[in-house]
Chains A and B, each alone.
Chain A
Amino acid sequence: MDKRSVFKSVWLPILFAAPQMLLVFLFFYWPAVAVLRWAFTLEPPFGGNAEFVGFANFVEVLTNPLYWNSVMVSVIFALAGTLTTIFIGLVLALAADRQLPGSGLFRFLYILPYAIAGPAAGMAFRFILSPERGIAASLNAMWPDFWNPAKYGSHALIFVIIIFAWKWAGYTFIFLFAGLQSVPKALTEAAAMDGSGPIRRAIDIQVPLLAPTLFFLLVIMMTEGFVGADTFGIVHRTTNGGPNHATEVMVFGIVNEAFQGLNYSGAAAQSIILIGLIMVFTFIQFRFVERRVHYK
């Protein structure tokens, strides 16, 4: 039997919920409705009456080749960022789970980057991975243009993905480490008795049993990669979408369109498409990946 206490008055619970509801309404529902309205109107940037234009905003966005470029960049960024992040988090979690001396300290260090804001990490990496300094400079001296994100789009994309992975690996690490702790130790011991080494055990026993956690992280990190605050922050602080739109992820495009181009309606239409894209991706994940996940 579950215990529950019931409020006698109607007003008291509403009063308790009001501050949160106010925030949700102000910063979630209102903007969402506004975006929906703007997407179908032509919103003058300096006020005045909006004009209903139907799907004109969408047609404009979808016929723009630069927009399709940014969709492509976003998909690559989210996919590569997610997979790298989960892979690094998994390797770190497997290592920390072995409980070797010092693993407590490393556990702390692995989580730490998550506490750093994406733009700040971006700033730091502008120096760390700058082609004129440090290790990159030495490599460039040996092989000219080995690493130059200011010149090559592919390098720039790798650059922002590295920063994203650096920051978010700590987040996936927490979940995967917690997941590994719940895999009974006897299972890995049994596998060891069966003659399986640490890497083989990880692949055959631990990773399959982590499947629910991995699936959760896949959904969360894909969403984060598409619309996360860090995705915009990192791109904004490092490459600014360049060179030649090579790192112009969709969120960056939206902010640019709205606040540089002052085209609120176009940005709103892009937002709606982005939301739709995330829904499609999440649907695909649940439809085709989740059925292969064993929940105990």
Chain B
Amino acid sequence: MAEIDIRAARKSYGKNPTLHGIDLNFQSGEFVVILGPSGCGKSTLLRMIAGLEDITSGEIAIDGRVVNRLEPRERGCAMVFQNYALYPHMTVAGNMGYALKVAGVPKPERERRIAETAKIVGLSDYLERKPAALSGGQRQRVAMARAIIREPKVFLFDEPLSNLDAKLRVTMRAEIRKLHQRLSATSVFVTHDQVEAMTLADKLVVMNKGHVEQVGHPLDVYHRPASTFVASFIGAPAMNLFESRVEVETASAYLGGAPVRLPSSLAASLRGKDVTIGIRPEHTIVATKGPGVAAEVDFIEELGAGRVVHMLVEGEPFAATIGEDLNVAPGDRVSLDLPLEHLHVFNRETGRRIDPSDLPADAPAQHCAPLLTTP
């Protein structure tokens, strides 16, 4: 159980900065998932917490103690590596007990704890095997057991499930979650898989290009993405984003020649502004006729539980999930209804989300007065 505090942490390799000032706070016992595309610096951040990478500037504190200058062993963290990093010349028991052996735990005590931990992860029958004689899932369990056995304050996971097949990944995901509930140590889990992130996290940190894009509960991040990056990164299929200008007269944005009504709380203050508007495929309503945004069906993906129809709107791709009752085929012309309560509006220049609360209270008046006189 430990709180982790990251204050203005930066990392550069030579002259190339990879992390630009990260500020994060992980509560004790929290399951934190750091999500981002490859190369965003998420693993680097994790390795900085672990002590495997230097911290170029800033501070990382575990349990109130600044650990910048501490060796990995002094930080009380255990780590599960992406490719498990099991010692190939040691048995499963040897792998699990190595940390205890190094710490000088006497043999009977060590054996008792190995047996106990093996029971937790279901490896009791494999203790005398070498890692080469284990399946991928079993190796993963050994890697976890090796971390658990030390009873660390902090668990660090570096994309631990990415080498497993799809089915095993789901099982192991559930096991990791259960394990966390049981041990309640602070866990930091790095992944590029949004499903893992959504299902595991108490707190989700989305990173991009060495910056933190958004921190929050997974559902918050999903429903209120803070930027176009987060919007397009989380959710499958990805959120539809289109660029538009909010018309002065109607306070609507236009897509495919049709007006898209914006929430009234936003519309007035955004008149005449360039925005990026987003809507998730599951919120897009597809109809074969009627008013709405004109679209042409490009192709259809069958998912069994539903269908994703990929369309082209003004030549740009646009996706929607539809039920089985709607009959469409590639080449069909359809019309889209974009309900205003599901629209996400972003500043086109910065990519940041625009919320009613972000806008100055007097903004509409200021903007409207001169604008209304111009036409």
Contact = CB atoms under 8 A, between A and B. Distances in A.
B147 to A, nearest CB: 8
Contacts of B71: 192, 197
Chain B contact residues: helix, strand, loop or mixed:
loop
A205 interface: yes
Given A191-B98, A194-B102, A194-B146, A184 B72 contact: no
A211 B82 CA distance: 25
Interface in B59-89: 71-73, 77-79, 81-83, 85-89
Contacts of B86: 190
Q: Classify the interface of chain A: helix, strand, loop or mixed.
A: helix
Which of A191, A208, A209, A211 lies at the interface centre, i.e. has the most chain B CB atoms within 10 A of its CB? Answer: A191
Contacts of A197: 71, 73
Interface string B126-151: 00000010000000000000100010
A193 B103 contact: no
A184 B71 CA distance: 20
A268 to B, nearest CB: 46
B88 A294 contact: yes
Contacts of B79: 189-190, 193
A190 B96 CA distance: 12
A209 B87 CA distance: 9
Nearest to A186: B85
A195 interface: yes
B129 to A, nearest CB: 14
B50 interface: yes
B52 interface: yes
Nearest to A198: B71
A190 B103 contact: no
Given A194-B99, A197-B73, A186 B81 contact: yes
A50 B86 CA distance: 66
Max chain B Cβ within 10 angstroms of own Cβ: one of A197, A204, A211, A294: A204
Interface residues of A, number: 20
B88 A193 contact: no
Contact of A187 (B77, B85, B103): B85
A196 B83 contact: no
A200 interface: yes
A217 to B, nearest CB: 18
A194 B98 contact: yes
A40 to B, nearest CB: 49
B78 A294 contact: no
Given A186-B83, A195-B103, A209 B88 contact: yes
B263 to A, nearest CB: 49
A193 B89 contact: no
A195 B73 contact: yes
B81 to A, nearest CB: 5
Interface in B268-305: none
B102 A184 contact: no
B78 A187 contact: no
23 contacts: A184-B85, A186-B83, A187-B85, A189-B72, A189-B81, A190-B85, A190-B86, A192-B71, A192-B72, A192-B73, A193-B50, A193-B52, A193-B79, A193-B99, A195-B99, A195-B102, A195-B103, A196-B73, A204-B102, A205-B87, A208-B89, A211-B89, A296-B132
Interface of B: 50-52, 71-73, 77-79, 81-83, 85-89, 98-99, 102-103, 132, 146, 150
Given A190-B81, A195-B102, A196-B73, 16 more contacts: A186-B82, A190-B79, A190-B86, A191-B98, A192-B71, A193-B77, A193-B99, A195-B72, A195-B73, A195-B99, A204-B87, A205-B87, A208-B89, A209-B89, A211-B89, A294-B89
